Amino acid sequence: MAFDIKKIREDFPILKRKMNGKPLIYFDNAATSQKPAPVIDAEREFYEKYNANIHRSIHRLGEEATKKYEEAHDKASKFINAGFEEVVFTSGTTESLNLLAYSLGSEIKEGDEMVISQAEHHSNFVQWQQLAKNKRAKLKFAEITDDGTLDLGQLSRILNKKTRIVSLFHVSNVLGTINPIKKISKIIKEKSNACFIVDAAQSAPHMKLNVKELGCDFLAFSGHKMLAPTGIGVLYGKQELLEKMQPFMFGGEMIKHVTFEDTKFNDLPWKFEAGTANIAQAIGLGAAIDYLNKAGMQNIERHDAELAKYCYRLLDSMGDVEIYGPEERNSLVSFNVKNVHAHDTAAVLDSEGIAVRAGHHCAMPLHSLLGIPASARASFYLYNTKEEIDALGEGLKKVSKVFS
């Protein structure tokens, strides 16, 4: 399908809103994306036509809901080239990564080592830090160079046979840096026996992922950043690893047989999906994946990277804007107008109808490394345009004028 941005924009009802009489320019996609009509319709249709619990009802509604839920599972598996058994639905990246910290964490012993980078989102940071504290294990940090990329030489040097877990971002939610996951997988396998976890929250919405090619053991992402509703996300894990892992939560759905003495757990992926699932949200995710596939992930990747580059160059040419991270980036640009707090920048832009994020973007350690309390972030998706970025440029000129 041709990538027709005019048509795409028509599919997103929220983009018709006016802000202060101006067209809404939504540049906060890294926080959450907007939703197209087919996703909203899919969720509504579930509640209007076949709302029922799944996997346990003999009646027709239950069967229809189960079929649609399992179809969504199938679409999510194919989206990243994983097997059906290898994709677990969670509430999002945060739950996926906590599930891993709990299940893999039960095997961590005193003196074991874990590695994350200095630029991780708190949801790929705090649980490893706490796990290390609780188990007297060591948490090491892969360093970020001055140009905002991961220092692969330093990463290689801190890996050894004691390293049990390496968990890294694919695309940084602050720097926009794209980590070379395939290359990193190789380095990890050469130097250690560690499990390699990829936080794909900022890559899955924007690039075609193939877990077989990436070579990671686990990968996590959130539906709401890729056109789907909130409350649904994915944990991919290699089948042989998921088979061996302890469930994260116990209860209904995740069991095969329960006696007074013991429990036999359910088959994959249901072993990791205790309790009533987020059924409507999962069906919404299925519709979102259909939408992304139709637009073409390669088209989306090219479009979003082009916008990020255009924005980087525009902001760079302004003279009083500091940009964080390398020029080669995926879909977002974090910056500060010199001598202006990011919150003030965002407030002025908001008055122009432009929504950007301002703050530490759940990456406080990285911001302290950068020596700044906060940054503003413009993040793009398939419905954004260069004209909107030009408007951001004009908005930033106003910021400079107001605060000079």
C-alpha span between 235 and 241 (Å, rounded): 12
Cβ proximity of 110 and 136 under 8 Å: yes
CB nearer to ligand PMP: pick between 163 and 202:
202
Closest listed residue to residue 374, CA positions, set 174, 212, 220: 174
CB of residue 94 vs ligand PMP: minimum separation in angstroms? 3
State the DSSP H helix or E strand holding residue 22, giving kind and residue range, or none if neither: strand 22-23
Piece of 1-9, 55-63, 116-124, 158-166 that binds ligand PMP (CB under 6 A): 116-124
**CB 95 → ligand PMP: shortest distance, Å?**
7
Piece in contact with ligand PMP (CB under 6 A), picked from 88-96, 176-184, 256-264, 274-282 = 88-96
According to DSSP H, which parts of 229-371 are helical?
239-244, 279-295, 297-316, 342-351, 364-370
Tell which one of 29, 77, 123, 299 touches ligand PMP (CB under 6 A): 123
Does 90 bind ligand PMP (CB under 6 A)? Our answer is: no
* Number of neighbours of residue 114 by Cβ within 10 angstroms: 26
C-alpha 267/C-alpha 85 separation (Å) is 8
- Which member of 34, 185, 222, 384 binds ligand PMP (CB under 6 A)? 222
Query: Do β-strands 195-199 and 218-222 pair in parallel, antiparallel, or remain unpaired?
Result: parallel
- Give one word for 55, left, alpha or beta, with left for phi > 0 and alpha for psi -120 to 50: left
Catalytic residue among 195, 216, 311, 362: 362
Closest CA to 357 of 339, 338, 340, 336: 336
Tell me how far apart the alpha carbons of residues 149 and 72 are, in angstroms, rounded to a whole number.
35
Would you state the structure tokens that stand for residue 312, as one six-digit string? Answer: 């980087």
Question: How many of the chain's residues bind ligand PMP (CB under 6 A)?
Answer: 14
Binding of ligand PMP by 192 (CB under 6 A): no
Near ligand PMP by CB under 6 A: residue from 202, 299, 345, 384: 202
Contacts of 304 (CB under 8 A, 6+ apart): 206, 330, 331, 380, 381, 382
User: Within 1-30, which residues bind ligand PMP (CB under 6 A)?
Assistant: 30
Binding residue for ligand PMP, selected from 77, 127, 149, 173, defined by CB under 6 A: 173
Residue with tokens 């139709």: 294
Tell me: does residue 127 bind ligand PMP (CB under 6 A): no
Q: Of 52-60, 196-204, 337-345, 388-396, which segment contacts ligand PMP by CB under 6 A?
A: 196-204
Report the residue number, 123 or 330, with the smaller CB distance to ligand PMP: 123
- Site track 239-278 with ligand PMP (rule: CB under 6 A), x = hit: ----------------------------------------
Question: How many angstroms separate the CA atoms of 236 and 86, rounded?
Answer: 6
Does 362 participate in catalysis according to the annotation? Answer: yes
Six-digit token pair at 352? 């122009």
Q: Out of 73, 121, 164, 329, which residue is the one contacting ligand PMP (CB under 6 A)? A: 121
What is d(CA 384, CA 8) in angstroms, rounded to the nearest whole number? Answer: 10
Which of 8, 29, 42, 92 contacts ligand PMP by CB under 6 A? Answer: 92
- Between 123 and 400, name the residue whose CB sits nearer to ligand PMP: 123
CB of residue 281 to ligand PMP, shortest distance in Å = 12
Residue among 86, 112, 113, 199 that touches ligand PMP (CB under 6 A): 199
Taking Cα atoms as reference points, which of 279, 121, 98 lies closest to residue 201? 121
Residues that bind ligand PMP (CB under 6 A): 30, 92-94, 121, 123-124, 169, 173, 199, 201-202, 222, 362
Catalytic residues: 362
